[in-house]
Every structure is written in C-alpha cells, then in structure tokens.
Structure 1
Amino acid sequence: MEFILVMMIIDSMTKEYFKFLNKYLATFDGSADDADAIGAAKEEAAAAIIEFVKSSDLYQCDLLDMPAVAQLEKDEKYQPVYELLKIFLTQRLESYLAFQTANSTLLQGYGLVHEECITKMRLMSLLDLSGHCSGEIPYSAITKALEINDDEVEYWIVKAISSKILDCKVDQLNQLVIVSRHTARVFGMPQWQSLRSKLGVWRGNIANAINTIQANKVTEDGGQGMQGLMIR
C-alpha cells in the first residue's frame, strides 16, 4: 500500500514537472530578443523531451512547435534527444527500434527503460494508424506496425482504450478495428483546423435539425387548423 502511494506521489510530481517545463519553454518565441536566453534553455528542453518519453500518461504534446525545443535539432549534444522526440510524435515502432540500436547507451544515460519505451511506442504507433486510416484498421496493419502476433491485437486495443487515447469497436469476424476517436500525438495548426471544420459541420447539423423540427411543427399546426375549420 505504501509503495503504491509513493508511486502515485512520484507520478504526480513528474506531471507537474513536465507542465512547468512546458510552460517555461513556451515563453520563448524564437525572436532576436530571445537569442541569448533561448540558448540557455537547451537543458530544460532536453529534460522536457525525456519526461514526455518516460511518462506512461502523456501521448500528446506540442514540444515540436516550440523554438526552444527546435534549436536542439542542430545541437551536437542534444540532437539525438530531439530525434527521439520526433520518433515518438511522428513515426512508429520500427523507427524507435532502429534508434535504440544505435543509441542504447544514450537512452540508458537518461534513465529510459527500453521495454517501457517499446510499450509506449506501440501505443503511439496505434495512434498513428488511427490517424491515417479511414475509420477502419485491419488487424494485419496493427500486427505489422506494432510488431506483435495476431492474438495480441485485442490486448493492445484494450490497453489503448484504458489509457483513454482511443475509442473504437472491434469487428472480430472481419478482423477490423473501427475507430471513432483517437488522440492526436501532435496538436498543432492542422489539428486546430480539423477541429474547427468538425465544429462547423456539427453546428450545421444542429441548425438543420432545428429547421426540420420547426418546419414539422408549422405543418402540424397548419394541419390542425384546417381540421378545426372542417369540423365547424
């Protein structure tokens, strides 16, 4: 019981630390006025990346869009850390495994556990599949992307659902996963535009429904009026 409590406290502290780093890094806009200060934030940018990769609760972030993080791409010391972030946010398990083979010592140095990274990367790969499918993912695509056996597909689907990053139905007969919602790994301008478009469609549907109800009401009222005249 005490161990569980300690782990909950550590998890809460880790989340707060990531939030703090995220807010701090977001203060840099990449302007000329930030030139000196942003260069001094490289360590914090790398720390934010590592905390994101380590977390078993975080599957979405906007670190890639931050100038303070983007500067790491051309930094000799932190470039591999930036590459790791890109893999987790834009690529699949295969890319992580190749990176780990070439950078195992680096990952260990940052306290990253390979098995835990594989678990998270499998869920990230499932999100990537969900974002590129037309609402249906064949089991075969999941086994290939996650590098798992056929009988493991539903285990990972349940894991994604319990992590609240995926809503779907499983069609066992046709070996399909029918996705109704998934978490976007990166929430940038394209995601905002997509959300705006969906809201526009939703508002249009609501307006059409209201107009239909009002039209039916007018028709019913008119019919009742005519019926009253005929009775008289």
Structure 2
Amino acid sequence: MAALEYLESQRNAQPELAEWYNTLGDLYKRKLWHQLTLKLDQFVALAVFQAGDALIQLYHNFITEFETKINLLKLAHFSVIVSRQYSDKEAAIGYLEGVIEKLQAAKDIRVEEAILYVKMQIAACKLENGDQKECKTLLEDGKNTLDNLAEIDPSVYASYHWVSSQYHKSRQEFADFYKSSLLYLAYTSLESLSETFKLDLAFDLSLSALLGDNIYNFGELLAHPIIQSLIGTKAEWLYYILQTFNGGDLVRYQELIHAHRASLNAQPALVENEKKLLEKIRVLSLMEIIFSRPSEDRTIPLNLIEDRTKLSVEDVEYLLVKCLSAHLIKGIIDQVQGTVHVSWIQPRVLGVPQIKSLRDRLDNWLGKVHTALSSVEAETPDLVVL
C-alpha cells in the first residue's frame, strides 16, 4: 500500500514525528476516516510543515488514497492549505482545479460549499497574479452560490469575505474593504489568527475606516477585540486617532497629528487625504454636539458649531448641508435665527464615554418624571391611586 509505504519512509526520515505517523497509519488501516481527518487537522498545523513542500508531498502520497471518503469540506480545507506551499501560483491554480474536478465527481448534497471554498482560493491566487478581472468574476459567481445555498459553514463565508476584502484592498476601495473585513471577522475565530495577522488586519481596518467614504461610525471597530492588537505596538497612535474621530474631538486630533507626524507621513494615503480627514472629523464633531444634547433641546446655535469645528458660519452651513444630503441627520437650518433644528441623527455604536453620557441623560429624565409625578400627586391626591 503506497500510503503506508510513504508514512514508513517519513517515519524513518523524521523520527521525532514517528508517533504522529504511527497514529495516521493506524487510523488509515482501520478506515476510521473521521478520526483520521481530525488527526490530520492537527498534523498539518505543525510548524515543521509550514515551509517547503512537505504538505504537497503529504497530499499526493497519502491523502489522495482516501480523499473522497472524508468530509468534502475538510478535503477542501486541506487542499487550500496545501496550495499555499506552491511558489508558482499557476501551479497552485492547476492543483486546485484538479481538486474541484474530484469534488464534482463526488455524490454529496453539500459538495457545492466545498467547491466554493476551493474556488475562493483560486480567486486569491488570481489576485496575487494581478488578475483583478478574473478574481472579480469568481467573487460574483461565489456571491450567487452563497445566496442559493442553505446552512453554509462559517469557513466558507469567511473565505469569500476575505478574498473580497483583498480585492477591494488592491483597488484602494476603502469602504468596501472595511465592510468585507468586518464580515470576514464575523465568521472567524480570533484565536485562530496569528498575532502578526491580527496586527496587520487591525492596521488596514483602521486606515480604511478613516479613509472610507460614508464611514462615520467608528464604534463598531473600536468595540471589536481585534483593534486591541494595535496597543503596545508602533501603530498604537492609530488607535488613539480612531478614538478621537469617534468622539469628534478636533483639538485632540490636531494634537495627535502634530505628535505623530512622522508615522502619518509614512502612510501616503493619509497624507493625500488630510483635507478629507479634517472634513470627516468635523462631521463627527457636529454629530457629537447633537448626540450630547437632550432630544428636547436639538435647536443648536450655528456659532456653537462654529466654535467646536473651527469653521466660519458659511462653512458651518456647508457642513450641515453635507450631513443632511448624506442622511447623517435630518433637520432645518434657520439662517435668520442662526440655528439648526435637528429632528433625527443616524444611530451609532456607542463608546464607553458616550454610554455614560446617555446614562446621565436617562437619570436626568427619570428625575424629571419623578418630579412631575410628585407634583401631580400633590395637586390631585384623590385622583392618584397607589
């Protein structure tokens, strides 16, 4: 049996892994496919296999002997891991297309999700080769497949959203990258990601949140555990800038820009969009002014906004028009009175300081309700039934 002969040769070549090879051989001989799959999961994750072509050899000399007998999605997982050891992306694509042919021949009601998982890796290889058009086509087909499948494994969703995020990153489509990356994280366990990977993703997410069009809510990102990866690193300054944007604190933002000018200059996208960033934090400053006021006191003097945003009255009116047209707020500007009455503000994911502010306002409202109730009880004691 070729598979057992291969395991024997590897056991002799790598005596430190002899116990692993013995276990794999035993499970293979006993045809315990589920247990063998679980053991392989652990085996291919060993650090010793992360370089060279060891996994390619393992697949062609061992896994191919029983690949259609195991869970097909697990086969897809193994295949994608193996494909990453091909230095030539075209060779990796050819290998993955061969796996898809084997999957298509299998009779399994859930084969489509396994095929989709492999196709997303092909899309990733295409993107790495600079073929954005073919990657986009595969993503569009993948989206159609996802829409028509039921009970899809989270790993399949994760693979789709990850490749989608990398496609948008390659095109510098910041808002789309931001959305796709958050969706990827929704289907991925943080514990499965390396610290380096988390730091890189947290950094890219932060930049995309700052630079993405129509992204004015930073609470969701700040509340996600991945953002903590920035703390204690050279990129920590970016975490504080996100906090500053979330609170609409223009003064603090300018202080951070001055203190971390060298780090900012190392990011061309931030340098090129400084004017846009300044406009965005002014929008958030306006939203923070509105949010911090009680709902019955939403008629705001323009000179108050002028003071907080460091704009002229004319520019404040332009800022308000921008917010109204972007549907961030609803209201009416009264140029005669020099005020704006806001009837609605876009919901936000709140940070701890904003939640505390909301709690204080609720406490104040409860106090008013209690006062009103006491007044009614005092004036009409016969009508009040306890």
What band does the TM-score fall into relative to the shorter chain? 0.5 to 0.7
What SS does the corresponding residue of 2:260 show, helix, strand or coil? helix
Work out the number of aligned pairs and report it. Answer: 179
Matches within 5 A, 1:213-232: none
* Partner residue of 1:46 out of 194, 199, 203: 203
Task: State the structure with bigger RCO (CA 8 A, min sep 6), 1 or 2.
Answer: 1
- Contact 2:175 / 2:211 at 8 angstroms: preserved in 1? no
Query: Alpha-carbon deviations, 1:119-177, whole Å to 9, x = none?
Result: 11111111111101231211111001110112322111101112221111112232211
Instruction: Supply the AA of the counterpart residue of 2:265.
Output: Q
Unpaired runs of at least 5, structure 2: 1-170, 359-386
User: Which runs of structure 2 are paired with 1:84-95 in the superposition (5 Å)?
Assistant: 84-95=241-252
Per-residue deviation, 1:185: 4.6
When Rg is computed on C-alpha atoms for both structures, the one with the higher figure is 2
Give yes or no for the alignment of 1:16 onto 2:179.
no
Percent identity (aligned): 22
Evaluate the alpha carbon distance shift between residue 169 and residue 58 of structure 1 in structure 2; reply closer, same or farther with a 3 A threshold: same
TM-score scaled to structure 2, two decimals? 0.42
Structure 1, unaligned runs of 5 or more: 1-9, 195-232
2:290 corresponds, among 130, 134, 139, to 130
Partner of 2:280: 120
The residue number in structure 2 matching 1:164 is: 327
Q: Which residue of 2 aligns with 1:101?
A: 258
- 1:7 maps to which residue? none
**Residue 38 to residue 187, structure 1, CA distance change in 2 (3 Å):** farther
- Which digits, 9 at most, give the CA deviation of each residue in 1:18-37, with x for residues without a partner? 1122123445677xxx2864
Maintained 8 Å contact 2:250/2:282: yes
Q: Is the 8 A contact 1:131 1:184 kept in 2?
A: no
Q: Which amino acid aligns with 2:257?
A: Q
1:64 aligned residue (188, 208, 222): 222
Q: Distance in 1 between the 2:316 and 2:248 partners?
A: 19
SS of corresponding position for 2:181: helix
For residues 166-204 of structure 1, give each alpha carbon's deviation from its aligned partner in whole angstroms, at most 9, with x where no partner exists: 11111223221111111245357988xx8xxxxxxxxxx
Conserved in 1, the CA contact under 8 Å of 2:290 and 2:298?
A: yes
What's the C-alpha RMSD, in Å, of the aligned pairs?
2.7
TM-score (norm. length: structure 1): 0.68
